[in-house]
Amino acid sequence: NAGVMQNPRHLVRRRGQEARLRCSPMKGHSHVYWYRQLPEEGLKFMVYLQKENIIDESGMPKERFSAEFPKEGPSILRIQQVVRGDSAAYFCASSLRYEQYFGPGTRLTVT
């Protein structure tokens, strides 16, 4: 049973470009969460989605960030017009109910 998959593992973008981060949850998991970890800081919740629905987006920045979890395919975290402050590790997690299983993360570097 494959774990949570994230791709790409490393992503480099210039300021102003768009970044798309993908997350494939564990088989059978219908809950997906995105977290961000800035350099030398703790993990911060961003958004919680179920299939085709955003359940909790209280941690999402108001502008430039969006997330989706379509009926088919992976969950996508999209960052438009990236800035240097967006450089961080972005982790996706999936769950059935209680335990969350995390992916290896995507490390975004904005130059």
Q: Applying CB under 8 A, which part among 14-22, 43-51, 65-73, 76-84 lies near other proteins?
A: 43-51
| DSSP β-bridge partners for residue 49 | 32, 54
Q: Is 91 in the site for other proteins (CB under 8 A)?
A: yes
Q: Residue 103 carries which DSSP code? A: -
Smallest distance, other proteins to C-beta of residue 38, A:
12
3-class secondary structure, 24: strand
Single out the residue of 48, 82, 86, 110 in contact with other proteins (rule: CB under 8 A). 48
Tell me which residue has tokens 């402050």: 85
Report how far apart the first and last C-alpha atoms of the chain are (Å, whole number): 37
Q: Applying CB under 8 A, which part among 12-20, 64-72, 76-84, 94-102 lies near other proteins?
A: 94-102
Size of the site for other proteins (CB under 8 A): 24
Single out the residue of 8, 43, 51, 70 in contact with other proteins (rule: CB under 8 A). 43
Angle CA(74)–CA(77)–CA(83) in degrees, nearest 5? 155
Nearer to other proteins, 42 or 85 (CB): 42
Q: Is the dihedral of CA 96, 23, 74, 65 positive or negative?
A: positive
